Protein backbone atom coordinates (compact mmCIF):
# COMPACT_ATOMS: atom_id res chain seq x y z
CA UNK A 1 0.00 0.00 0.00
CA UNK A 2 1.40 3.37 -1.06
CA UNK A 3 0.96 6.56 0.95
CA UNK A 4 0.75 9.51 -1.42
CA UNK A 5 1.09 13.17 -0.46
CA UNK A 6 -0.84 16.33 -1.34
CA UNK A 7 -3.61 14.77 -3.38
CA UNK A 8 -6.52 16.94 -4.54
CA UNK A 9 -9.77 15.74 -3.01
CA UNK A 10 -11.97 17.55 -5.55
CA UNK A 11 -11.81 14.60 -7.92
CA UNK A 12 -12.72 12.13 -5.16
CA UNK A 13 -15.97 13.83 -4.16
CA UNK A 14 -19.18 14.21 -6.14
CA UNK A 15 -19.31 17.90 -5.17
CA UNK A 16 -15.99 18.14 -7.09
CA UNK A 17 -14.85 20.70 -4.53
CA UNK A 18 -12.05 20.63 -1.98
CA UNK A 19 -8.36 21.23 -1.31
CA UNK A 20 -5.64 18.62 -0.85
CA UNK A 21 -5.29 15.66 1.45
CA UNK A 22 -1.94 15.88 3.24
CA UNK A 23 -1.63 12.08 2.91
CA UNK A 24 -3.74 9.74 0.81
CA UNK A 25 -3.90 5.98 0.38
CA UNK A 26 -6.12 3.37 -1.25
CA UNK A 27 -6.87 0.23 0.77
CA UNK A 28 -8.00 -2.99 -0.88
CA UNK A 29 -8.04 -5.32 2.13
CA UNK A 30 -8.55 -5.30 5.89
CA UNK A 31 -4.80 -5.77 6.36
CA UNK A 32 -4.10 -2.64 4.35
CA UNK A 33 -6.69 -0.75 6.36
CA UNK A 34 -4.92 -1.74 9.59
CA UNK A 35 -1.63 -0.60 8.05
CA UNK A 36 -3.16 2.76 7.07
CA UNK A 37 -4.62 3.44 10.52
CA UNK A 38 -1.31 2.50 12.14
CA UNK A 39 0.44 4.97 9.84
CA UNK A 40 -1.90 7.74 11.03
CA UNK A 41 -1.45 6.77 14.67
CA UNK A 42 2.31 6.65 14.45
CA UNK A 43 2.78 9.73 12.31
CA UNK A 44 1.88 11.98 15.19
CA UNK A 45 2.79 15.59 15.28
CA UNK A 46 3.30 17.27 18.67
CA UNK A 47 1.81 14.34 20.53
CA UNK A 48 -1.38 14.18 18.43
CA UNK A 49 -2.14 11.31 16.08
CA UNK A 50 -2.67 12.35 12.49
CA UNK A 51 -6.42 12.58 11.83
CA UNK A 52 -7.80 10.18 9.24
CA UNK A 53 -10.80 10.44 6.97
CA UNK A 54 -12.45 7.39 5.46
CA UNK A 55 -13.61 7.97 1.92
CA UNK A 56 -16.09 5.81 0.03
CA UNK A 57 -17.65 7.37 -3.03
CA UNK A 58 -17.28 10.90 -1.60
CA UNK A 59 -20.95 11.43 -2.40
CA UNK A 60 -22.10 12.84 0.92
CA UNK A 61 -19.35 15.25 1.87
CA UNK A 62 -18.19 18.78 1.31
CA UNK A 63 -14.43 19.18 1.68
CA UNK A 64 -13.19 22.66 2.58
CA UNK A 65 -11.00 24.67 0.25
CA UNK A 66 -8.13 24.12 2.74
CA UNK A 67 -8.45 20.37 2.28
CA UNK A 68 -7.73 17.77 4.94
CA UNK A 69 -4.58 17.91 7.02
CA UNK A 70 -4.38 14.21 7.74
CA UNK A 71 -4.60 10.81 6.05
CA UNK A 72 -7.44 10.12 3.64
CA UNK A 73 -8.16 6.39 3.42
CA UNK A 74 -9.97 5.50 0.22
CA UNK A 75 -11.86 2.23 0.67
CA UNK A 76 -11.51 -0.03 -2.37
CA UNK A 77 -12.08 -3.49 -0.88
CA UNK A 78 -14.51 -5.28 -3.15
CA UNK A 79 -16.25 -8.62 -2.83
CA UNK A 80 -19.90 -9.63 -2.83
CA UNK A 81 -21.25 -13.02 -1.78
CA UNK A 82 -24.82 -14.28 -1.89
CA UNK A 83 -25.82 -17.08 0.39
CA UNK A 84 -28.72 -18.55 -1.60
CA UNK A 85 -30.06 -20.77 1.15
CA UNK A 86 -30.84 -17.98 3.59
CA UNK A 87 -30.97 -15.00 1.16
CA UNK A 88 -28.14 -13.16 2.86
CA UNK A 89 -25.99 -10.85 0.74
CA UNK A 90 -22.65 -9.74 2.13
CA UNK A 91 -20.48 -7.11 0.60
CA UNK A 92 -17.16 -5.40 1.28
CA UNK A 93 -17.17 -1.72 2.15
CA UNK A 94 -15.63 -0.50 -1.13
CA UNK A 95 -18.29 -2.01 -3.42
CA UNK A 96 -20.48 0.51 -5.18
CA UNK A 97 -23.83 0.64 -3.43
CA UNK A 98 -25.83 0.47 -6.61
CA UNK A 99 -23.90 -2.58 -7.89
CA UNK A 100 -25.06 -4.38 -4.77
CA UNK A 101 -28.68 -3.29 -5.32
CA UNK A 102 -28.54 -4.31 -8.98
CA UNK A 103 -27.10 -7.69 -8.05
CA UNK A 104 -29.84 -8.26 -5.45
CA UNK A 105 -32.59 -7.46 -7.97
CA UNK A 106 -30.99 -9.62 -10.69
CA UNK A 107 -30.98 -12.50 -8.22
CA UNK A 108 -34.65 -12.07 -7.30
CA UNK A 109 -33.86 -10.86 -3.79
CA UNK A 110 -36.24 -8.25 -2.33
CA UNK A 111 -35.31 -5.55 0.17
CA UNK A 112 -32.89 -3.07 -1.44
CA UNK A 113 -34.74 -2.12 -4.67
CA UNK A 114 -36.14 1.20 -3.37
CA UNK A 115 -32.56 2.25 -2.65
CA UNK A 116 -31.56 1.94 -6.33
CA UNK A 117 -29.24 4.47 -7.96
CA UNK A 118 -27.98 6.03 -4.73
CA UNK A 119 -24.35 6.98 -5.28
CA UNK A 120 -21.64 5.94 -2.85
CA UNK A 121 -20.29 2.73 -1.41
CA UNK A 122 -21.62 -0.13 0.71
CA UNK A 123 -19.47 0.85 3.70
CA UNK A 124 -20.94 4.34 3.82
CA UNK A 125 -24.57 3.19 3.62
CA UNK A 126 -25.05 2.24 7.31
CA UNK A 127 -23.20 5.30 8.61
CA UNK A 128 -25.99 7.66 7.60
CA UNK A 129 -28.64 4.94 7.25
CA UNK A 130 -29.31 5.84 3.63
CA UNK A 131 -32.97 6.03 2.76
CA UNK A 132 -35.23 6.80 -0.18
CA UNK A 133 -38.73 6.08 -1.48
CA UNK A 134 -39.99 4.49 1.73
CA UNK A 135 -36.96 2.30 2.47
CA UNK A 136 -33.91 2.59 4.70
CA UNK A 137 -30.81 0.44 4.98
CA UNK A 138 -31.76 -0.27 8.60
CA UNK A 139 -34.80 -2.29 7.43
CA UNK A 140 -32.70 -5.07 5.87
CA UNK A 141 -29.26 -4.75 7.40
CA UNK A 142 -28.23 -7.87 9.28
CA UNK A 143 -24.82 -6.93 10.61
CA UNK A 144 -21.76 -4.80 10.07
CA UNK A 145 -18.10 -5.72 10.40
CA UNK A 146 -15.77 -2.92 11.38
CA UNK A 147 -12.29 -2.11 12.56
CA UNK A 148 -12.25 -0.69 16.08
CA UNK A 149 -9.46 1.83 15.67
CA UNK A 150 -9.03 2.06 19.44
CA UNK A 151 -8.32 -1.62 20.14
CA UNK A 152 -7.26 -2.36 16.52
CA UNK A 153 -9.48 -5.45 16.46
CA UNK A 154 -12.39 -6.30 14.16
CA UNK A 155 -15.81 -6.19 15.76
CA UNK A 156 -19.34 -7.02 14.58
CA UNK A 157 -22.43 -4.89 15.12
CA UNK A 158 -25.91 -6.38 14.95
CA UNK A 159 -28.67 -4.24 13.47
CA UNK A 160 -29.73 -3.21 16.98
CA UNK A 161 -26.17 -2.31 17.97
CA UNK A 162 -26.06 0.20 15.08
CA UNK A 163 -28.65 2.43 16.84
CA UNK A 164 -30.17 3.55 13.56
CA UNK A 165 -32.19 6.75 13.26
CA UNK A 166 -33.15 9.08 10.42
CA UNK A 167 -29.85 9.54 8.54
CA UNK A 168 -28.12 8.47 11.73
CA UNK A 169 -26.26 5.56 13.38
CA UNK A 170 -23.73 4.84 16.09
CA UNK A 171 -20.94 5.17 13.50
CA UNK A 172 -21.51 8.92 13.33
CA UNK A 173 -21.16 9.37 17.06
CA UNK A 174 -18.73 6.85 18.56
CA UNK A 175 -15.37 8.53 18.73
CA UNK A 176 -12.03 7.64 20.23
CA UNK A 177 -11.97 9.70 23.42
CA UNK A 178 -8.26 10.50 23.01
CA UNK A 179 -8.13 11.45 19.34
CA UNK A 180 -11.74 12.53 18.71
CA UNK A 181 -11.63 10.42 15.54
CA UNK A 182 -14.53 8.18 14.47
CA UNK A 183 -13.84 4.96 16.31
CA UNK A 184 -15.15 2.34 13.89
CA UNK A 185 -14.36 1.88 10.21
CA UNK A 186 -16.85 -0.34 8.41
CA UNK A 187 -15.24 -3.06 6.29
CA UNK A 188 -18.23 -5.24 5.32
CA UNK A 189 -22.01 -5.28 5.59
CA UNK A 190 -24.51 -8.17 5.40
CA UNK A 191 -28.17 -7.83 4.42
CA UNK A 192 -31.03 -10.17 5.18
CA UNK A 193 -33.08 -10.16 1.99
CA UNK A 194 -35.98 -12.35 0.93
CA UNK A 195 -37.29 -14.14 -2.16
CA UNK A 196 -40.89 -13.66 -1.08
CA UNK A 197 -40.92 -9.90 -0.71
CA UNK A 198 -43.67 -7.35 -1.03
CA UNK A 199 -42.86 -4.31 -3.17
CA UNK A 200 -42.96 -0.98 -1.33
CA UNK A 201 -44.91 1.32 -3.60
CA UNK A 202 -46.58 3.76 -1.19
CA UNK A 203 -44.27 6.71 -1.85
CA UNK A 204 -46.05 9.44 -3.82
CA UNK A 205 -43.52 9.58 -6.66
CA UNK A 206 -43.54 5.78 -7.05
CA UNK A 207 -47.35 5.55 -7.18
CA UNK A 208 -47.49 8.37 -9.71
CA UNK A 209 -44.81 6.73 -11.87
CA UNK A 210 -46.72 3.45 -12.19
CA UNK A 211 -50.02 5.24 -12.84
CA UNK A 212 -48.47 7.44 -15.51
CA UNK A 213 -46.75 4.51 -17.21
CA UNK A 214 -49.84 2.24 -16.91
CA UNK A 215 -47.83 -0.51 -15.23
CA UNK A 216 -50.02 -2.97 -13.37
CA UNK A 217 -48.56 -5.69 -11.14
CA UNK A 218 -44.96 -4.42 -11.33
CA UNK A 219 -42.09 -6.83 -10.74
CA UNK A 220 -38.96 -6.34 -8.66
CA UNK A 221 -37.06 -5.18 -11.77
CA UNK A 222 -39.91 -2.82 -12.73
CA UNK A 223 -39.62 -1.16 -9.34
CA UNK A 224 -35.85 -0.77 -9.67
CA UNK A 225 -36.34 0.72 -13.14
CA UNK A 226 -38.98 3.10 -11.75
CA UNK A 227 -36.72 4.29 -8.93
CA UNK A 228 -33.79 4.82 -11.32
CA UNK A 229 -36.00 6.87 -13.66
CA UNK A 230 -37.57 8.91 -10.84
CA UNK A 231 -34.14 9.75 -9.48
CA UNK A 232 -32.88 10.69 -12.95
CA UNK A 233 -35.84 13.03 -13.43
CA UNK A 234 -35.55 14.72 -10.01
CA UNK A 235 -31.86 14.81 -9.23
CA UNK A 236 -29.04 16.54 -11.07
CA UNK A 237 -26.74 14.64 -13.41
CA UNK A 238 -23.58 13.92 -11.39
CA UNK A 239 -21.51 14.11 -14.57
CA UNK A 240 -22.59 17.70 -15.24
CA UNK A 241 -22.94 19.20 -11.75
CA UNK A 242 -21.05 18.95 -8.53
CA UNK A 243 -23.58 17.82 -5.91
CA UNK A 244 -24.01 15.67 -2.82
CA UNK A 245 -27.77 15.12 -3.21
CA UNK A 246 -29.98 16.45 -0.42
CA UNK A 247 -27.80 18.91 1.44
CA UNK A 248 -29.94 19.28 4.57
CA UNK A 249 -31.92 16.84 6.71
CA UNK A 250 -35.67 17.15 6.75
CA UNK A 251 -36.24 18.76 10.18
CA UNK A 252 -38.58 17.44 12.87
CA UNK A 253 -40.76 19.91 14.75
CA UNK A 254 -43.17 19.54 17.68
CA UNK A 255 -46.77 18.81 16.58
CA UNK A 256 -47.98 22.21 17.85
CA UNK A 257 -45.39 24.07 15.77
CA UNK A 258 -46.35 22.00 12.74
CA UNK A 259 -50.02 22.90 13.25
CA UNK A 260 -49.09 26.60 13.28
CA UNK A 261 -47.03 26.22 10.12
CA UNK A 262 -49.85 24.31 8.45
CA UNK A 263 -52.15 27.25 9.21
CA UNK A 264 -49.83 29.56 7.34
CA UNK A 265 -48.82 27.11 4.61
CA UNK A 266 -51.74 24.67 4.14
CA UNK A 267 -49.99 22.45 1.56
CA UNK A 268 -46.85 21.94 3.65
CA UNK A 269 -46.09 18.17 3.68
CA UNK A 270 -45.43 16.70 7.13
CA UNK A 271 -44.98 13.13 8.37
CA UNK A 272 -45.84 12.27 11.99
CA UNK A 273 -43.12 10.40 13.84
CA UNK A 274 -43.34 7.88 16.68
CA UNK A 275 -42.29 10.42 19.31
CA UNK A 276 -45.17 12.77 18.46
CA UNK A 277 -43.09 15.22 16.40
CA UNK A 278 -43.63 15.86 12.70
CA UNK A 279 -40.99 15.60 9.99
CA UNK A 280 -41.32 18.55 7.62
CA UNK A 281 -40.41 18.42 3.90
CA UNK A 282 -37.65 20.99 3.73
CA UNK A 283 -37.62 20.81 -0.09
CA UNK A 284 -41.15 22.25 -0.02
CA UNK A 285 -40.18 24.95 2.49
CA UNK A 286 -37.17 26.06 0.45
CA UNK A 287 -39.19 26.01 -2.75
CA UNK A 288 -42.67 27.31 -1.90
CA UNK A 289 -42.08 29.20 1.37
CA UNK A 290 -38.60 30.65 0.85
CA UNK A 291 -38.70 30.95 -2.92
CA UNK A 292 -35.23 29.43 -3.12
CA UNK A 293 -35.69 26.78 -5.82
CA UNK A 294 -33.21 27.43 -8.62
CA UNK A 295 -31.52 30.19 -6.59
CA UNK A 296 -27.93 30.70 -7.83
CA UNK A 297 -25.24 32.50 -5.83
CA UNK A 298 -22.06 32.66 -7.89
CA UNK A 299 -21.12 29.16 -8.99
CA UNK A 300 -23.47 27.37 -6.60
CA UNK A 301 -27.20 27.10 -6.16
CA UNK A 302 -30.23 24.97 -5.42
CA UNK A 303 -31.34 22.57 -8.14
CA UNK A 304 -34.25 23.85 -10.17
CA UNK A 305 -36.19 20.57 -9.84
CA UNK A 306 -35.44 19.89 -6.14
CA UNK A 307 -34.59 22.74 -3.80
CA UNK A 308 -33.13 20.48 -1.10
CA UNK A 309 -30.34 19.53 -3.49
CA UNK A 310 -27.41 21.91 -3.86
CA UNK A 311 -25.44 22.06 -7.10
CA UNK A 312 -22.04 23.48 -8.00
CA UNK A 313 -20.61 24.52 -11.35
CA UNK A 314 -17.07 23.61 -12.25
CA UNK A 315 -14.72 26.02 -10.47
CA UNK A 316 -17.02 26.46 -7.44
CA UNK A 317 -15.42 26.74 -4.01
CA UNK A 318 -16.47 25.38 -0.63
CA UNK A 319 -16.63 29.00 0.58
CA UNK A 320 -19.35 29.69 -1.99
CA UNK A 321 -21.33 26.70 -0.74
CA UNK A 322 -20.99 27.90 2.87
CA UNK A 323 -22.44 31.31 1.86
CA UNK A 324 -25.37 29.68 0.11
CA UNK A 325 -25.95 27.39 3.09
CA UNK A 326 -25.98 30.39 5.46
CA UNK A 327 -28.46 32.20 3.21
CA UNK A 328 -30.79 29.18 3.07
CA UNK A 329 -30.57 28.67 6.84
CA UNK A 330 -31.39 32.34 7.34
CA UNK A 331 -34.43 32.26 5.05
CA UNK A 332 -35.85 29.10 6.63
CA UNK A 333 -35.36 30.47 10.16
CA UNK A 334 -36.98 33.76 9.21
CA UNK A 335 -40.03 32.23 7.52
CA UNK A 336 -40.66 29.20 9.74
CA UNK A 337 -38.57 29.53 12.90
CA UNK A 338 -36.92 26.18 12.07
CA UNK A 339 -33.17 25.76 12.51
CA UNK A 340 -31.97 23.40 9.78
CA UNK A 341 -29.04 21.05 9.86
CA UNK A 342 -26.74 19.79 7.11
CA UNK A 343 -27.06 16.16 6.10
CA UNK A 344 -23.79 16.26 4.19
CA UNK A 345 -20.54 15.83 6.17
CA UNK A 346 -18.49 19.02 6.26
CA UNK A 347 -14.79 18.16 6.19
CA UNK A 348 -11.84 20.33 7.11
N1 LIG B 1 -40.85 19.50 -2.75
C2 LIG B 1 -41.19 20.71 -3.30
N3 LIG B 1 -40.22 21.44 -3.93
C4 LIG B 1 -38.93 21.00 -4.02
C5 LIG B 1 -38.57 19.76 -3.44
C6 LIG B 1 -39.57 19.02 -2.81
O7 LIG B 1 -42.34 21.16 -3.23
O8 LIG B 1 -38.11 21.74 -4.59
C9 LIG B 1 -41.90 18.70 -2.09
C10 LIG B 1 -42.25 17.46 -2.92
O11 LIG B 1 -43.25 17.72 -3.86
C12 LIG B 1 -42.71 16.48 -1.84
C13 LIG B 1 -41.86 16.86 -0.63
O14 LIG B 1 -41.39 18.19 -0.86
O15 LIG B 1 -44.05 16.70 -1.52
C16 LIG B 1 -40.69 15.92 -0.40
O17 LIG B 1 -39.86 15.87 -1.57
P18 LIG B 1 -39.18 14.49 -2.06
O19 LIG B 1 -40.18 13.41 -2.14
O20 LIG B 1 -38.40 14.79 -3.30
O21 LIG B 1 -38.24 14.07 -0.87
P22 LIG B 1 -37.21 14.87 0.06
O23 LIG B 1 -37.74 14.82 1.45
O24 LIG B 1 -36.90 16.21 -0.50
C25 LIG B 1 -35.88 12.71 0.68
C26 LIG B 1 -34.44 12.31 0.82
C27 LIG B 1 -33.84 12.00 -0.55
C28 LIG B 1 -34.65 10.88 -1.19
C29 LIG B 1 -36.10 11.36 -1.32
C30 LIG B 1 -37.01 10.29 -1.89
C31 LIG B 1 -33.62 13.48 2.80
C32 LIG B 1 -32.72 14.55 3.33
N33 LIG B 1 -33.67 13.36 1.46
O34 LIG B 1 -35.90 13.96 -0.04
O35 LIG B 1 -32.52 11.53 -0.35
O36 LIG B 1 -34.14 10.54 -2.47
O37 LIG B 1 -36.59 11.70 0.00
O38 LIG B 1 -37.29 9.33 -0.93
O39 LIG B 1 -34.24 12.78 3.60
C40 LIG B 1 -30.23 12.23 -0.29
O41 LIG B 1 -30.22 11.87 0.89
O42 LIG B 1 -29.23 12.73 -0.83
C43 LIG B 1 -31.45 12.08 -1.06
C44 LIG B 1 -31.55 12.48 -2.33
Query: 2: which strand partners?
Result: none
Domains of the chain: 4-75 (3.30.43.10), 80-192 (3.30.465.10), 242-347 (3.90.78.10)
Q: What is the pLDDT along the chain (348 residues), one digit of tens a residue?
A: 999 999 999 999 999 999 999 999 999 999 999 999 999 999 876 667 899 999 999 999 999 999 999 999 999 999 999 999 999 999 999 999 999 999 999 999 999 999 999 999 999 999 999 999 999 999 999 999 999 999 999 999 999 999 999 999 999 999 887 777 899 999 999 999 999 999 999 999 999 999 999 998 999 999 999 999 999 999 999 889 999 999 999 999 999 999 999 999 999 999 999 999 999 999 999 999 999 999 999 999 999 999 999 999 999 999 999 999 999 999 999 999 999 999 999 998
Question: Does ligand 1 lie within 6 Å of residue 284's CB atom?
Answer: yes
Residue nearest to atom 15 of ligand 1 (CA): 269
Q: Which of 88, 226, 103 is nearest to 159 (CA)?
A: 88
Q: Which of 186, 183, 177, 150 is nearest to 55 (CA)?
A: 186
User: For the segment 280-304, what is each residue's pLDDT rounded down to a tens digit?
Assistant: 999 999 999 999 999 999 999 999 9
Average pLDDT, the chain: 96
Among the listed residues 64, 146, 246, 252, the single catalytic one is: 246
Active site residue 231: no
Active site residue 113: no
Question: What count of residues does the chain have?
Answer: 348
Strand bridging mode 141-148 / 184-192: antiparallel
How much distance in Å is there from the Cα of 63 to the middle of ligand 1? Answer: 23
Helix (H) or strand (E) holding 83: strand 80-83
Question: Does ligand 1 lie within 6 Å of residue 307's CB atom?
Answer: yes
* pLDDT computed for residue 220 by the predictor: 97
- Give CA–CA dist 23/65, Å, rounded: 16
How much distance in Å is there from the Cα of 302 to the middle of ligand 1? Answer: 13
The answer, as to whether pTM is greater than 0.85, is yes
Amino acid sequence: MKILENISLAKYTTFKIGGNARFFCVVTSEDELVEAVKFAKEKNTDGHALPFLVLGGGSNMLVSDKGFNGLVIKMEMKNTVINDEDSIMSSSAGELWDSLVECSVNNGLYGLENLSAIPGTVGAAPVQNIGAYGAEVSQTLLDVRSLDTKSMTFVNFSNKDCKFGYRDSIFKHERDSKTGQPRYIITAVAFQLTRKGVLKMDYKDVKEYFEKNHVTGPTLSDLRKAIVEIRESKLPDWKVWGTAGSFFKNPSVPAAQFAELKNKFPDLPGFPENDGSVKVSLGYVLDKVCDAKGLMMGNVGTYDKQALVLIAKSGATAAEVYSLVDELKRRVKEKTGIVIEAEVDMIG
